[in-house]
Amino acid sequence: MITINIIGFGNVATHLISHINTLEDYTIQAIYSRSKNTTQNLPIVNDINKLRSADITLISVTDDAIAELSARLPYQNSLIAHTSGTVSIDEITHERRGVFYPLQTFSKQKEVDFSEIPLCLEATNSKDYALLENLALKLTKKVYSISSLQRKKIHITAVFVCNFVNHLFTIGKDIADENDIPFEIFMPLIQETVNKIKTLDPAQAQTGPAIRNDFLTIEQHLLQISNNNYKNIYKLLSNSIIQHGKKL
């Protein structure tokens, strides 16, 4: 039986706990939370000094608390891994350190299908990597070896394909609302935009006035956008599509 300590009880920790709890060969030895007590049958510990060493310790707290909490763990010589997308593996002060990063946006209320979530792993030696990989493969089919540098780039990419994409949805909804157009009308189009890149390179899937060099439509659109921010975004993204198209 492999023992696991979980440090933290936030969104990611909550999802990890509920899924690890279902695994046969793993047991959650302790969950460290300063403030929480649950009525569920979970081994919560409020004093970090009372934690005993476990085979794997997963630190799942806010980015800026990882270094401090790893330093305060009252044991050495076991594997300590954090679950952050941005923090370097070296912020963990222990010799045996790792990263166990699920690439997904979590909300506490919303159930996720963990088996579809990519887990990005890193460790300082191959034995510890195998320890993380064995656990990861019990949770998901999608396990990747990702260096700290790659993880930084993943975070930047996620800002483009998730955070910025969502902001374009926000802009779309603003324009739709202004013109009494129900936003739901765009959902099939949005879903198809995603479906296309499952089989096509996004650059190949590009449609719209910019990739056609249809400057007349672009000019007409710009005249009709009243919000200056949105107008600038329209210009910059159209130019970028045109530039990118020239390289194809």
Q: Considering only residues 168 through 197, tell me which ones interact with its own copies, judged by CB under 8 A.
A: 168-173, 175-176, 178-182, 185-194, 196-197
Of 14-22, 39-47, 126-134, 228-236, the window that binds its own copies (rule: CB under 8 A) is: 228-236
- Using CB under 8 A as the binding rule, whether residue 201 contacts its own copies is answered as yes
- Using CB under 8 A as the binding rule, whether residue 231 contacts its own copies is answered as no
What secondary structure letter does DSSP report for 174? H
Which residue, chain included where needed, has tokens 């779309």? 172
Question: Closest Cα to residue 92, out of 72, 118, 112, 107?
Answer: 72
- Using CB under 8 A as the binding rule, whether residue 10 contacts its own copies is answered as no
Nearer to its own copies, 53 or 193 (CB): 193
- Using CB under 8 A as the binding rule, whether residue 203 contacts its own copies is answered as yes
Q: Among 71, 130, 137, 236, indicate the residue that binds its own copies (CB under 8 A).
A: 236
Q: Among 23, 53, 120, 130, indicate the residue that binds its own copies (CB under 8 A).
A: 120
- Using CB under 8 A as the binding rule, whether residue 240 contacts its own copies is answered as yes
- Using CB under 8 A as the binding rule, whether residue 90 contacts its own copies is answered as no
Angle at 115 between CA 25 and CA 94, to 5 degrees: 60
Question: Please, what is the minimum distance in Å from the beta carbon of residue 242 to its own copies?
Answer: 10
- Using CB under 8 A as the binding rule, whether residue 145 contacts its own copies is answered as no
Dihedral pair phi/psi, residue 108, rounded to 5°: -65, -35
Burial of 111 (0-12, 13-18, 19+ CB in 10 A): exposed
How big is the chain by its Cα radius of gyration, in Å? 23
Binding residues for its own copies restricted to 43-62, rule: CB under 8 A: none
Nearer to its own copies, 127 or 173 (CB): 173
Which residues are CB-contacts of 231 (< 8 A; sequence separation ≥ 6)? 222, 225
The neighbouring-strand residues paired with 80 are 57, 97
Question: Closest Cα to residue 121, out of 150, 143, 88?
Answer: 143
- Using CB under 8 A as the binding rule, whether residue 153 contacts its own copies is answered as yes
Nearer to its own copies, 108 or 198 (CB): 198
